[in-house]
C-alpha cells in the first residue's frame, strides 16, 4: 500500500540534544512538508521541499533543519536551538506543491525530558 | 504572506443538526481552499476542496462555499453524526510551488 510513514510515534529529547524525526513516502510525490501542531495553534509550516536537494523555510523554521537527499525521504532535525520543541509533528506530501491534496503521516509526538 | 482565520474554535451540535465553520484569508491571490478533518492521534485527511473558479462544491453531507470578493469560505455539514466529531482545518494557498497555510482549527462535537 502506498502511503507516508513517520517514525518514531513518540520521541523524548534531553536538554541540549538534537533529535531527528523520520518521514518516508512511497507515493512518488515531488513535494514534502513538515508542520508543527500545538493545541489551539493549528498547523504551522516549518519547512517544505518541492524537489530533491531543494527546500524552503516556512513560518517557524528557527531551531529546525531538514535535508532532501532522496525523493522518498524528508527528515526533520530538531536542534538544541529550538527552546520549546514539545509538540506534535506532522509530515505530508503532495504530487505538486501548493495546489494539490496533501497526504499526512500519523505524526510524531516530541516531548522534552 | 497569507494568513487564514478560522471560527469558531469549538462547536457543539446535536446529532442531525447542521454545522458551519467559517474561514477568512488575507491574500486575494489565493486560489485553492481545502478542508481537512483530523481525528484524535491521527494526521489530517482531506474531506473537500474548492478552487477559485468555483463558488460552491458539494459531496454528500458536506459542502463548501467560496466568496472571493469577501475573501471567505465556509464548510457546511448537514445531518451531523457522532462520527463527524473531530478537529476541522481550513487552508489556503496561492499557487503551485508554495505550501498550504492552515487556520487554527475547529473542534466539532456531535452529541447523540
Q: Mind giving me the DSSP string for A35-64?
A: EEEETTTEEEEEEEEEETTEEEE-TT-TTE
Beta-carbon separation of B46 and A40 below 8 A: no
Chain A contact residues (CB < 8 Å to B): 33, 35, 40-45, 48, 50, 56, 58-59, 90, 92, 96-99, 101-102, 104-107
Phi, psi of B82, rounded to the nearest 5 degrees = -55, -35
Tens of pLDDT, residue by residue over A13-31, are 988 899 999 999 999 999 9
B100 interfacial to chain A (CB closer than 8 Å): yes
Which tens digit of pLDDT belongs to each residue from A38-75?
988 889 999 999 999 999 999 999 999 999 999 999 99
CB atoms B46 and A58 under 8 Å: no
**Using one digit for the tens of pLDDT, what is the confidence trace for B11-70?**
999 999 999 999 999 999 899 999 999 999 899 999 999 988 889 999 999 999 999 999
Q: Would you state the pLDDT for residue A98?
A: 61
Check if the beta carbon of residue B46 is closer than 8 Å to that of residue B34. yes
Give the per-residue pLDDT at A22: 98
Amino acid at each position: 500500500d502506498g502511503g507516508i510513514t513517520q517514525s518514531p510515534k513518540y520521541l523524548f529529547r534531553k536538554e541540549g540534544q538534537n533529535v531527528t524525526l523520520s518521514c518516508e513516502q512511497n507515493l512518488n510525490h515531488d513535494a514534502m512538508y513538515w508542520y508543527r501542531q500545538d493545541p489551539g495553534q493549528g498547523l504551522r509550516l516549518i519547512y517544505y521541499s518541492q524537489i530533491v536537494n531543494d527546500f524552503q523555510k516556512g513560518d517557524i523554521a528557527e531551531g529546525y533543519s531538514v535535508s532532501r537527499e532522496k525523493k522518498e525521504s524528508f527528515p526533520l532535525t530538531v536542534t538544541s536551538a529550538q527552546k520549546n520543541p514539545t509538540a506534535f509533528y506532522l509530515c505530508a506530501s503532495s504530487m505538486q506543491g501548493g495546489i494539490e491534496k496533501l497526504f499526512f503521516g500519523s505524526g510524531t509526538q516530541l516531548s522534552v525530558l | 504572506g497569507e494568513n487564514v482565520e478560522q471560527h469558531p474554535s469549538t462547536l457543539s451540535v446535536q446529532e442531525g443538526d447542521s454545522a458551519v465553520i467559517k474561514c477568512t484569508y488575507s491574500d486575494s491571490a489565493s486560489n485553492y481552499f481545502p478542508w481537512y478533518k483530523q481525528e484524535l492521534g491521527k494526521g489530517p485527511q482531506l474531506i473537500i476542496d474548492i478552487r477559485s473558479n468555483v463558488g460552491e462544491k458539494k459531496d454528500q453531507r458536506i459542502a463548501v462555499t467560496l466568496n472571493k470578493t469577501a475573501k471567505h469560505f465556509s464548510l457546511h455539514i448537514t445531518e451531523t453524526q457522532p462520527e463527524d466529531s473531530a478537529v476541522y482545518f481550513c487552508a489556503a494557498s496561492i499557487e503551485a510551488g508554495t505550501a498550504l497555510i492552515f487556520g487554527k482549527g475547529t473542534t466539532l462535537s456531535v452529541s447523540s
